């Protein structure tokens, strides 16, 4: 049995001060997507009526289709990535 060696790489990035506002606004939008996915998954797992369902990332992607038009800074790729992290 060969053991896998994992390497962790830490990136250090400098962010210009004029980018703080944009990054903070984008973080708020990502948080809104995270909260929606979390609440939707919770409601599906504990429904008022019917059988419970565990939502996959694909299910969440279908539910958030077209949501990128509501956001100014994040796109559908970011929304799908958040949905994938929410499930996994």
Q: pLDDT digits over 8-63, tens only?
A: 999 999 999 999 999 999 999 999 999 999 999 999 999 888 899 999 999 999 99
Cα–Cα distance for residue pair 65/4, rounded to 1 Å: 38
Tokens of 35: 């909260």
pLDDT at position 72 over 80 = yes
| For residues 61-79, average pLDDT | 96
Tokens of 61: 């992607």
pLDDT band at 6 (very low <50, low <70, confident <90, very high): confident
- The Cβ-side half-sphere exposure at 78, using a 13 Å CA radius, reads 17
More confident residue, 22 or 1: 22
- Contact in structure between 12 and 20 (CB atoms under 8 Å): no
Kindly list the domain boundaries of the chain, sorted by start residue.
Answer: 17-87
pLDDT given at position 39: 94
- The model's pTM is 0.81
C-alpha triplet 5, 9, 15: angle, nearest 5°: 170
């Amino acid at each position: 049995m060969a053991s896998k060696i994992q390497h962790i790489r830490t990136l250090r990035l400098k962010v210009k001060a004029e980018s703080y506002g944009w990054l903070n606004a984008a973080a708020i939008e990502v948080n809104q997507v995270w909260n929606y996915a979390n609440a939707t998954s919770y409601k599906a797992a504990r429904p008022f009526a019917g059988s419970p369902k565990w939502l996959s990332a694909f299910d969440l992607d279908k539910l958030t289709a077209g949501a990128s038009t509501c956001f100014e800074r994040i796109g559908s790729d970011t929304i799908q990535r958040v949905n994938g992290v929410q499930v996994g």
